[in-house]
A and B are shown apart, each in its own frame.
Chain A
């Protein structure tokens, strides 16, 4: 694995940010809008006088964490989409670049443009793999995925709010462990029993997702070598 080739993918993204600084704004803009919006909602709910805990600390903390992960997922996907939009796949994959170096470059880009979180990276690789498999027309799939997962992650409410059959999904979504622990600490002021085990389980699942989605991407790449999809992406992206 060549560090230079991984760096090339990262440098390409740095050049993109340099040529258009407004791209950087998108990393923070939605986070800021969410914080402002939920800040006002929390304040309003607090004014009703029925709050049993601090809406501001619980909801805003969860939103900030979730938004970072969503930004990372979209950071990976955007770096990948750049190559589709610029019809550059042939140039990259005809060079000595290996698929794992390409993935390394996408991850490096995402880590640098946001906070590092395995789940966000794994989600980003998974969505990029789906687009790589189905073609540029599947791009829309990438945008709502964080929102769909947030339903089961306990960002805005405790997992126990979900019907029992939906709580099963929360068990396999690592951020759910983080949000539940945060919520318990804020509500009671104490660390919940078994929190270390829960966080370790969440981290392990996240690491497994990262490995699985990376393998998925490599498999899609190999399949595309057979089908000729890499060269066809150029025409399809027009």
Chain B
């Protein structure tokens, strides 16, 4: 399903058509098509090396596709990258912010990069929202992994993005903070009418948060559907069991 109107939701935030990435003879992503509608949280799942990060990097514009098209808010990424980037942001465990800058300084630099207005007020709001007040003047390199994740999420919401890409956003958070963060993100999607592409290896989190999931295997979309119904449709008791099957016996699901 690559058409937002088919999902019954509103405006199409992200539309991907036939996305392919080759590294020489190796095909990392093979004609992937999907969409994220306004107010929708889509889970991008799959074992390591399935093509999730490749997909995210191409949507972020830091990796060029071999074939296919990416449209964000109806605009082609190839032709409007800088303009589109103003409406997109992301948080990922592997994308660090400069360690020698304080939390507040990092947020200030990213506010300038994203052309945020009323920077001080916006930083104050985010610092309060992600409980970073007492850490605001601490160097980012001295933060714990959970605190860094909160900073990364604050940075990701800096420009009030319409498309938010979250690569394991709660991986380093304790269960209590993780729950709070999930609530904040769900509220954010509703209030800003954004769309989210969410990757995680925590299947219970995916079941709780996502409206739709896509299973990638060897660069192709193997399955997609409602995370509440998909396991039963394939004779599995839950999403975790389905994930394990995708990782170990993807051929059995194709048949």
Chain A positions within 8 Å of B, measured between CB atoms, are 2, 4-5, 7-8, 11-12, 15-16, 19-20, 82-83, 86-98, 225-228, 230-231, 234-235
Instruction: Count A-B pairs with CB separation below 8 Å.
Output: 109
Assembly CA distance A91 to B60 (angstroms): 10
In the complex, the answer to whether B60 meets A7 with C-beta atoms within 8 Å is no
8 closest residue pairs by CB, A with B: A8-B112, A94-B60, A86-B98, A96-B85, A90-B95, A87-B96, A95-B113, A15-B105
Interface residues on B, range: 35 or more
Assembly CA distance A233 to B241 (angstroms): 34
Query: Is B139 on the interface with A (CB-CB < 8 A)?
Result: yes
Chain B positions within 8 Å of A, measured between CB atoms, are 23, 53-54, 57, 60-64, 82-83, 85-86, 88-90, 92, 94-102, 105, 108-110, 112-115, 139, 155
Assembly CA distance A4 to B114 (angstroms): 9
Name the one of B23, B89, B97 contacting A86, with C-beta atoms under 8 angstroms.
B97
Name the one of B57, B99, B114 contacting A231, with C-beta atoms under 8 angstroms.
B57
| Interface SS of B by simple majority | mixed
- B171 to chain A minimum Cβ distance, whole angstroms, is 16
A-B contact pairs, 16 of them (CB 8 A): A7-B112, A8-B113, A15-B101, A19-B101, A19-B102, A83-B98, A86-B97, A87-B94, A88-B95, A90-B92, A96-B114, A97-B85, A98-B82, A230-B62, A231-B62, A231-B94
- A61 to chain B minimum Cβ distance, whole angstroms, is 36
- A29 to chain B minimum Cβ distance, whole angstroms, is 19
| 7 more A-B residue pairs beyond the given contacts A8-B112, A230-B62, A235-B94, with a C-beta to C-beta distance below 8 A | A15-B108, A15-B109, A16-B98, A19-B101, A19-B139, A83-B98, A91-B155
Most buried by A among B82, B102, B108: B82
Most buried by B among A4, A83, A97, A228: A228
